[in-house]
Structure 1
């Protein structure tokens, strides 16, 4: 390997009309992250000198998603080659540098990995005679893809589009995936020479291989797994990308020491962190920003997003953890309990049918079934603090802002609106009144009606 500098051009100017969406195509999420962000992650893994994102006109949302990189606007959509031409000014220092490389990838290929891109880069740099490297794959159905033509030594002779191919060429299953990398100076010279003398009047990057052959420049290919180069142009293709990504994330979690009882029913976000000896039961969904420590149990039908779960905790079944929730060591959050922006201390419990929002729950505190922290008054949200070892009786309403002291006890069915001091008992309910034999009298009265 040399110390060649690298620039990556990400093509993200497509309109995505087949998505039928107001959201730009490359911003549709896969595993909770925009497709473009997945592609940028793969590019960033190569540690390039710069990344240039080519976007279409009026694409402020896409520009915002790529704000940390150089943005180029392709005012007219005249093909992939034209998109790279638009980036030429941002690559001007590469035009006179034969010890640099330019990689072109696409913003709608969220499954593309840094490992595959590195193979392309390694081939380009380890064989200096190779001036251009394309990415190929072998789909089960080659369909309408362009075919790579190779000579006996593996050098690319060109790409023949399906419409221009005869029957013999159509039998070839080595197809063009789109991404390519070239030596900086040579690549930009080839791009500069692209012509648009075709029915669409567009400039195509695929023509670079024929141009390289014409100039006696060596071009080769790297063959990628089919899943890596899956492009997304429709909702159906987006669903396929999601399925493949989920399979990858499940495999990663299990390889790291987690048990998934029914892997195909568990859905991760791309940033979900799962510790060792974690057991995840069927039908669990993880939204973004979840961190799970070791020895945690996530029981069936739970939904977790933006939460941190410490060692030994048990969550669910049917629990919902919302953003800002921190579950301490050995905490139990049971069925039909919802937590939002709540911090649970070591060994605390909320086992049944409760809502705990904007709250701090001390170690070994117990929250009874049906308890609600009333954190919102229609205008502002306030916080509830429950001290260590406190016991909250079932069906209680804690009206924030309010503090329940350490070791305090709140009687079942109470509405608490004021501070309960340490080790105190509080009742906030109407006095029970009993009328002997009144029920029998009532029934007789109703019979006469």
Structure 2
């Protein structure tokens, strides 16, 4: 990556209701006082000049207490997504915090198994446009379709009723985007984007093929081989898996 300054953006405004534990997923304890936040921050701080976290109104106070030292140092900032309008709303609502940087590294707030190798390879590979680490999955929850020319043409989402194909490419919850023209592109995308069939949200993921296909943003794909990296902490089984795998990730 060129000398552009990098800001990591973590949209973590969900309420963690599916887990039923009463805390945002980014604050879930993985091992001995180590939370998902601690793991993510450990992965991101060698590369990101700044980390911005978007929380829900209920989660803001507890997260500020958890990350008090990093916030006090100025290395981390926090904003609030007042209404749960989806990841795109969280990311672009926080644009004043990241648009002065050359690129943003968007990371989902539940990616406990994110590999430092993947972060390093994505940052090194990113030059301009959009850089995506993708991994083939036996049964993907999200599937990315690319044409023979390397254009991202579609993202299928199981949660919106799309059928994902066995062996399809999935993301690992990490997306690197240049900031030049990014907010303007999102605004234009909103003018024509359809809301999700099940969530009723304008999802962030269909914005990526819009950038690649309609806006002609250059796309760099970083191959990932370990499907465990795509596993966020969404269910009790996911959380148990993360806790068992902690020694391997730490």
The interval holding the TM-score normalised by the smaller chain is 0.7 to 0.9
Maintained 8 Å contact 1:124/1:181: yes
- Alignment match, 1:220: 220
Q: State whether structure 2 residue 36 is matched by structure 1 residue 35.
A: yes
Q: Hey, what's the Cα distance between the residues in 2 that align with 1:227 and 1:217?
A: 29
- Alignment match, 2:96: 89
Secondary structure, counterpart of 1:84 in structure 2: helix
Q: Which has the higher strand share?
A: 1
- Alignment match, 1:149: 145
CA 1:193–1:66: 2 relative to 1, 3 Å: farther
Kindly report the root-mean-square deviation, in angstroms, between the aligned alpha carbons of the 2 structures. Answer: 2.1
Q: State whether structure 2 residue 74 is matched by structure 1 residue 78.
A: no
Q: Hey, what's the Cα distance between the residues in 1 that align with 2:114 and 2:145?
A: 23
Q: Hey, what's the Cα distance between the residues in 2 that align with 1:43 and 1:84?
A: 17
Deviation per residue, 1:255-274 (Å, 9 max, x gap) = xxxxxxxxxxxxxxx5xxxx
Q: State whether structure 2 residue 109 is matched by structure 1 residue 111.
A: no
User: In the TM superposition, what is the alpha-carbon distance from 1:15 to its structure 2 partner?
Assistant: 0.9
Q: Which has the higher helix share?
A: 2
Q: Hey, what's the Cα distance between the residues in 2 that align with 1:164 and 1:107?
A: 23
- Alignment match, 2:240: 239
- 1:44-193 mapped onto 2 (5 Å cutoff): 44-46=45-47, 48-59=48-59, 60-67=61-68, 68=71, 69-94=76-101, 100-125=102-127, 128=128, 131-142=129-140, 145-162=141-158, 163-165=161-163, 170-193=165-188
Which structure has the bigger radius of gyration? 1
Maintained 8 Å contact 1:194/1:203: no
Maintained 8 Å contact 2:105/2:177: yes
User: In the TM superposition, what is the alpha-carbon distance from 1:57 to its structure 2 partner?
Assistant: 0.7
- Tell me the TM-score normalized by structure 1: 0.49
Secondary structure, counterpart of 1:2 in structure 2: coil
Q: Which has the higher contact order (CA 8 A, sep 6+)?
A: 2
- 1:50-449 mapped onto 2 (5 Å cutoff): 50-59=50-59, 60-67=61-68, 68=71, 69-94=76-101, 100-125=102-127, 128=128, 131-142=129-140, 145-162=141-158, 163-165=161-163, 170-195=165-190, 197-198=194-195, 199=197, 200-212=199-211, 213-224=213-224, 225-246=226-247, 248=248, 270=250
- Tell me the TM-score normalized by structure 2: 0.85
Q: Which runs of 5+ in 1 are unaligned?
A: 95-99, 250-269, 271-449
Q: Hey, what's the Cα distance between the residues in 1 that align with 2:64 and 2:242?
A: 23
Q: Which runs of 5+ in 2 are unaligned?
A: none
CA 1:80–1:227: 2 relative to 1, 3 Å: same
Moved over 4 A (4+): none
Q: Hey, what's the Cα distance between the residues in 1 that align with 2:209 and 2:90?
A: 19
In the alignment of these two chains, the number of paired residues is 234
CA 1:161–1:24: 2 relative to 1, 3 Å: closer
